[in-house]
Amino acid sequence: MSQDSLFHGKIISEQKAENISRVEELAYDLKVDQVMTRDPATVTPDTPMHVVLDLFRTKRISGAPVVLNNELVGLVSIEDLIRCLQKAEMQAETQKYMSTKLLTVRNTDYVIEALKLFVNSHYGRLPVVDNNGKLTGIITKGDITNGILKALQYEYHDEEVRRYRASHLFEDIESDRSSLILRYNIKQGDFMHGGAASSAIKRALIRLGANPQIARRTGLAVYEAEMNLIIHTTNGGIIRVEIEPRQISITISDDGPGIEDISLAMRPGYSTATEVVRELGFGAGMGLVNIQRCVDSMRLESIYGKGTNLRLKIFLPEQEPVGEGN
Amino acid sequence: MNVKELIQLIDGRLLTSSADLTKEVKGGCGADLMSDVLASIQPEAVLLTGLCNPQVVRTSVMADVAAIILVRGKTPPPETISLAEEEQIPLISSPFGMFELCGRLYEAGLNSRERPVDGSDCDCGG
């Protein structure tokens, strides 16, 4: 969600935005409608106060809107009831004690509007009205706390479910051999995004339940290969990762220029990288050597003038497969 | 040593705010060649480097680096900072040079997290 839609056009400095916690964000995210108590118990102006007392006691509430002909005319609270009890006037009608100076919020307002009213007034509850001014509910600070807690719990639960689902991906799918294929197109010369694909692959493996060492080895190998595509190819290339419960197969392919002498390219320290690339911290001639160190098998094929194909395999420990829940 | 203590030790300036500063740092590694970092670094190390481009952060993500220290008071481009922010890796700038920083960290009890490489692995210039 963009900052604009989150804060509804309010200008918030970057520093301020950084300090906003998730709870505060939710106050801007949730609507009054989502946290309020619907169809609250109501009374009419002529309801005797002893009936109000009974209502509060049986419903365990501390305030009620006063309604006449579907119009909100007041609010009667436990404080009004106490004043009435002091005067021993329990036969009096509600309209004598209710407050008529009303602060209301709309059901379509964000929770933050209700919070502001609570902060700036001494009211403990606010009637909620729709756009036509008709009563639709009542909101207390407790309703807001509950609503935010529920939303936080829901979000937490959501992430849990997502992880759980990914880590059990293969369990519920029947086939003789299931796999998940991820593909990434890498642009030549795109140093700015170099490594983005490798990061995504590493994250995917961790979500699928891979142990951290496996995710790290795969990430390192693919990262070197991804940088090779960016540095050395004519038109970029494709990274394809096939994930099976017990092995990860990676193919990195491009359509040129190809490697002239593979054994020379495999020699540690040999590099054809330009000065610009070296300034970026790459081109030390260790890429292929590093890749080989991280994987269980590596096959490099290249036709000079045609392109290069690098195939890597990483085997997962017997007891720690991915996507089968461990 | 955690990241917060590390920052104090090197008069560091923290450039990101998303990272958890109570994270433990298990040792250090210093290099300007990202390929060297990828080849030798062990997980949960602090990386000292003079490089400021976003690849430093990418390399750190791949290599499970606990924190990045930019030596000689360098200020990286905004792309590097925003990537570090996104990946929740603490990015710290220190006024001292690489040698001074390695010395300070070693003296404070932080060991090397660089895997030793024997000559057979690299014959550049040899």
> pLDDT tens digits for A109-122?
999 889 889 888 88
pTM above 0.80, yes or no: no
Domain A180-315 fold is Heat Shock Protein 90 (3.30.565)
Quick one: pLDDT band at residue A185, thresholds 50, 70, 90? Answer: very high
Cα–Cα nearest to B101, from B3, B1, B11: B11
Q: Establish if B27 belongs to a structural domain.
A: yes
Cα–Cα nearest to A296, from A268, A316, A275: A316
pLDDT (tens digit, 9 = 90+) per residue, B45-97? 999 999 999 999 999 999 999 999 999 998 999 999 999 999 999 999 999 99
Q: Establish if B122 belongs to a structural domain.
A: no
Burial track B34-67 (b if 16+ CB lie within 10 A, e otherwise)? bbbbbbbbeebbbbbbebbbbbbbbbbbbbbbbb
Give me the numbers of helices (H) and strands (E) for chain A, helices first please: 14, 11
Question: Which residues of chain A have a CB within 8 Å of the CB of B32?
Answer: 281
Mutate to test the interface with A, among B35, B122, B124 (most CBs of A within 10 A): B35
User: Would the CB atoms of B121 and A268 count as touching at under 8 Å?
Assistant: yes
Q: What are the structural domain ranges in chain A?
A: 3-146, 180-315
Q: Establish if B117 belongs to a structural domain.
A: no
Nearest to B63 among A220, A281, A287 (CB): A220
Domain containing B19 equals: 3-109
CATH number assigned to the domain comprising residue B87: 3.40.1390.20
Number of structural domains, chain B?
A: 1
Stretch (H or E) spanning A52: helix A49-59
User: Would the CB atoms of B17 and A224 count as touching at under 8 Å?
Assistant: no
User: Would the CB atoms of A269 and B125 count as touching at under 8 Å?
Assistant: yes
- Tell which wins on pLDDT, A266 or B28: B28
pLDDT, mean of residues A80-84: 93
Residue A70, sorted as left (phi over 0), alpha (psi -120 to 50) or beta, turns out to be left
Q: How far apart are CA A11 and CA A17, in angstroms?
A: 10
Q: Establish if B116 belongs to a structural domain.
A: no
To which CATH superfamily is domain A3-146 assigned?
Answer: CBS-domain (3.10.580.10)
Q: Establish if B40 belongs to a structural domain.
A: yes
Nearest to A220 among B38, B54, B121 (CB): B38
Give pLDDT, residue A219: 94
Q: Establish if B52 belongs to a structural domain.
A: yes
pLDDT, mean of residues A287-304: 91
Nearest to B17 among A18, A194, A196 (CB): A18
Closest-CA distance, B9 to chain A, in angstroms, reads 26
Closest A-chain CA to B119: A268
Q: Establish if B114 belongs to a structural domain.
A: no
Give pLDDT, residue A14: 54
Q: What is the dihedral of CA A104, A110, A115, A121, to 10 degrees?
A: -30
Closest-CA distance, B19 to chain A, in angstroms, reads 13
Cα–Cα nearest to A36, from A97, A107, A101: A107
pLDDT (tens digit, 9 = 90+) per residue, A232-248? 999 999 999 999 999 99
Q: Establish if B118 belongs to a structural domain.
A: no
Q: Is the ipTM of this complex over 0.85?
A: no
Q: Hey, is the C-beta of A118 within 8 angstroms of any chain B C-beta?
A: no
A155: Cα separation from own chain's centroid: 7
